[in-house]
Structure 1
Amino acid sequence: MLKENGHIQAQELEIKVITPTHVGNGALLNKHDYLYSPQKHRVYFLHEGKWFTWLEGSHLLEEYITFLQSSRAKTTSTTKWLAWQNLGVEKSLDYFTQVSYSHMNANENLNNDLRIMERTVSWGPYIPGSTLKGMLRTALLHCAIKRDTQCAKNLRHKLTDSVLKEKRFKFPESEWFKENEPDVNGLMRAIRWSDAVGTDLETASCQKYEFPLNQRKERKTLPIYYECLVPNSRLRTTLSLDMSELERVREQSKQLLPITGVDDLLSYLLEYHKDINSLLEEEFSCSWREIFRFQHETNAYIGANIGFLQKTNLLAMAGTSREWLYKTAKNILPHKMGKTVIKRNSDKINPANLKGTMYAGKPCMMGGISIRKV
């Protein structure tokens, strides 16, 4: 529902998760912070206070501390240590844990760090408004540069110089943006996006996969696990636009993107998303057609393991010129992703791997969501 209060325009939105989506804050659970039940195929986060109380009541506290201080703890999980005690703790799991979620690789003995979702104080997973706003900023930058060829050319030179001189990928400074690009940062001051929250949201751990462009190579599994919102999860959020601030930005800066309301912001987000899928499907659909089966349901990507270079910085600046994208990537990717193979074919770029996961036994990209007005 669109609400207008003075100069503020606010649109309530629903976010539907289409493919597993991880939005975290860098927090990790190591193999001693959780328990894994192979019988239930679930991961349990330990409640520290209840866990140590239970250990003390079971006369295992000193033995557990000794285990943690030993060299075995480096390679052995708390789950395995607990199994050695033959206590049959399956029935007690809900007592000394605070939250649990399913583990998608049920046949695997989980013994790795887990990247957990951003969570509220009540431990409910959510998507921060700052993450949503950053996703929108990337889309607006993409659409603005797409309409300004000189800006795109200047930016490519700036990026290339940064990589060649410093031997690393460095996004241009905000001061350079103010002098050379549409004032996207100024525009963002007129936009507010609230945290996206839901009720009874379920999560699952998903392993990171790489799907190579080369059809003769097999998909590659990596020992990286993400706690993800599962498909069909629904969250609510509000996107607001300060019309008076927007007018001030128009008057004081170079503004290539006509914006009259929230609908325009959503349309630019969709345009960016279509450009992403156009490039990736063209390059990867022959090798991994199945991975794109859900993409017609999505209108945005968000979160981790969605291909930083492919779907964020590079594509935000690529516009529609494959030649431009190729020249930029040719100088950046070898420094950023050492073994990445860049090939040129009719002015197209071929990233070596597509990031994703396996869900319900099938490959899919991560972070695919659908945003709609309610």
Structure 2
Amino acid sequence: MKMSGLVCKEYELSCISPLHIGSGEKLSAFEYLYDRKGETVYFLDESKWISFLDKRGLMDEFAAFLEQRSPRGRNLWEWLLGKGVQERELRALSIRKAQAVKLTAEGEAKEKLNDVVCQTTLADGAPYIPGSAIKGALRTGILCAIIKKKPQRFQGFWQDFLRGAQEILRSGNPRGKKGAWRRLAADVSRKVEQEALHALSLPKQQARDAVTSALRGLRISDAVCPAEEKDTVILQKLDATTKRKKDGRMESEIPLFRECIPAGRKLRFSLTADFSMLETVGIASCEEIFEASRAYVWDGLRRQESVWGRKYAPLFEEAAEADCLLGGGTGFLAKTLIHALAGQEGESAAQRTIAAYLDDAFSNHKHKSLDSKISPRTLKMAELGRDMWILGLCRMREVER
């Protein structure tokens, strides 16, 4: 559909695996209801919750409940049942619910419920994916495609990054290294984006100004679920590693529980493209945008498959249909342009530099000594019961408006 030189299309986003877009909100155990028997978390509607406590005369008792001991270990659902509240009354207090097989980290007491990092939702509790998140992922794929098309054009930025990395590594100030890495990455990223995307010629504007970016011609709406599909899942972070643990396993369970849009969920979003802008950086169709994203995703997945493909073959087979990686828990390789800048000749230098950066960012991980096969040495996953996934895998298909 063309309107005034614009191309407007509707897309269906299918979650191949669960997907988490953090809202910035984290709930403690006393802020949600967990039905342990039903393996379900109920997220409270705040206005209903306050009104319920007031009507039932439980305000003071709830305050005392919080003060008894660490509320992180208390199950609010079970406390309320003990006060004579019916299960149906508790379910009626929720704005949405989530399946949660477990909410206790390995080695913790069973009753010690963990915090839950919440998914981005609309006012009515329905989960959604911000259009900015989708555009950001597509932007990374577009940048990677432009770099790979003319690598010589960007070779100087890779050399600048290597020189900056070597200066940081020679630095004797461990406390300042994290900030130095952030500044270096931000500086090189900014220069790469200016070179690759700032192609519009506008009166009285300099090339470094954002208004000259060709991606002004790409607009993405929020992706929303059907109104009746609010249910989510809560998944514990799981890292597959290249180092075997004492118990023989090569997976590490991390005490981080994320609320996710479940696998199989379908959302809708619209894409508006102004090719008078996008063609200045070589993009002539919507299909090319998704081809660039798909190529970028598979560049990272192939690196991981070379290390973990034999052990987790079904996960990589499932990932074969992915057009995009979205959200939290997708790992370092889903967000970096280092390998694209380095090219094949700089592959080993890229791996060493990533390991060095991760050593400084996460001092207890010892990446330099352990990332001999791939850096970083972990494959980011999640599991629910017997199901296991690589997080954030999505498929995009055009649909009729």
Q: Tell me the alpha carbon deviations over residues 323-369 of structure 1, each in whole angstroms, 9 at most, x when there is no partner.
A: 24223213312112321434699x95343221111134132211011
Partners of 2:112 and 2:67 lie apart in 1 by 21
Query: Structure 2 length as normaliser, TM-score?
Result: 0.81
Please list every run of 5 or more consecutive structure 1 residues that lacks an aligned counterpart in the other structure: none
2:94 to 75, 97, 102: 97
Aligned to 1:281: 305
Distance verdict in 2 for CA 1:161–1:242, change over 3 Å: farther
SS of the counterpart of 1:21? coil
1:14 to 12, 15, 29: 12
Partners of 2:99 and 2:70 lie apart in 1 by 27
Mapped pair 1:211 → 2:209: no
1:93 Cα shift? Answer: 1.6
Please list every run of 5 or more consecutive structure 2 residues that lacks an aligned counterpart in the other structure: 105-109, 199-209
1:144 Cα shift? Answer: 2.3
Query: In the alignment, residue 270 of structure 2 is paired with which amino acid?
Result: T
Distance verdict in 2 for CA 1:178–1:311, change over 3 Å: closer
1:99 Cα shift? Answer: 1.5
2:386 to 337, 355, 361: 361
Aligned to 2:276: 244
1:106 Cα shift? Answer: 8.1
Query: In the alignment, residue 148 of structure 1 is paired with which amino acid?
Result: P
Q: Is the 8 A contact 1:145 1:152 kept in 2?
A: no
- Which one is further off, 75-84 or 191-200? 75-84
Q: Is the 8 A contact 1:343 1:349 kept in 2?
A: no
Aligned to 2:197: 183
Distance verdict in 2 for CA 1:25–1:290, change over 3 Å: same
Query: Structure 1 length as normaliser, TM-score?
Result: 0.86
Query: In the alignment, residue 114 of structure 2 is paired with which amino acid?
Result: N
Partners of 1:162 and 1:119 lie apart in 2 by 43
Aligned to 2:315: 291
Distance verdict in 2 for CA 1:328–1:280, change over 3 Å: same
Distance verdict in 2 for CA 1:120–1:373, change over 3 Å: same
Mapped pair 1:194 → 2:199: no
2:177 to 135, 142, 167: 167
Q: Is the 8 A contact 1:127 1:195 kept in 2?
A: yes
Query: In the alignment, residue 113 of structure 1 is paired with which amino acid?
Result: D
1:114 Cα shift? Answer: 0.9
Distance verdict in 2 for CA 1:158–1:261, change over 3 Å: farther
Partners of 1:210 and 1:178 lie apart in 2 by 31
1:269 to 293, 299, 305: 293
Mapped pair 1:330 → 2:355: yes
SS of the counterpart of 1:323? helix
- Which one is further off, 352-361 or 283-292? 283-292
Query: In the alignment, residue 5 of structure 2 is paired with which amino acid?
Result: H
Mapped pair 1:341 → 2:343: no
1:143 Cα shift? Answer: 2.0
Q: Tell me the alpha carbon deviations over residues 273-314 of structure 1, each in whole angstroms, 9 at most, x when there is no partner.
A: 12111111012223433432411132211011111x222124
Q: Is the 8 A contact 1:23 1:127 kept in 2?
A: yes
Distance verdict in 2 for CA 1:163–1:138, change over 3 Å: farther
Distance verdict in 2 for CA 1:128–1:161, change over 3 Å: farther
Mapped pair 1:127 → 2:129: yes
Query: In the alignment, residue 302 of structure 2 is paired with which amino acid?
Result: S
SS of the counterpart of 2:237? strand
Aligned to 2:151: 148
Q: Tell me the alpha carbon deviations over residues 244-278 of structure 1, each in whole angstroms, 9 at most, x when there is no partner.
A: 2335xx3xxxx4xx211211111111111121111
SS of the counterpart of 1:331? helix
Partners of 1:367 and 1:162 lie apart in 2 by 35
Q: Is the 8 A contact 1:270 1:300 kept in 2?
A: yes
SS of the counterpart of 2:159? helix
Distance verdict in 2 for CA 1:163–1:20, change over 3 Å: farther
Partners of 1:161 and 1:189 lie apart in 2 by 35
Distance verdict in 2 for CA 1:323–1:44, change over 3 Å: same
Aligned to 2:258: 226
Partners of 1:60 and 1:19 lie apart in 2 by 41
User: Stretches of 4+ moved more than 6 A in 1?
Assistant: none
1:192 Cα shift? Answer: 0.9
1:228 Cα shift? Answer: 0.9
- Which one is further off, 53-62 or 317-326? 317-326
Query: In the alignment, residue 238 of structure 1 is paired with which amino acid?
Result: S
Structure-to-structure mapping, 1:6-85, within 5 angstroms:
6-85=4-83
Across the aligned residues of Structure 1 and Structure 2, the Cα RMSD in angstroms comes to 2.8
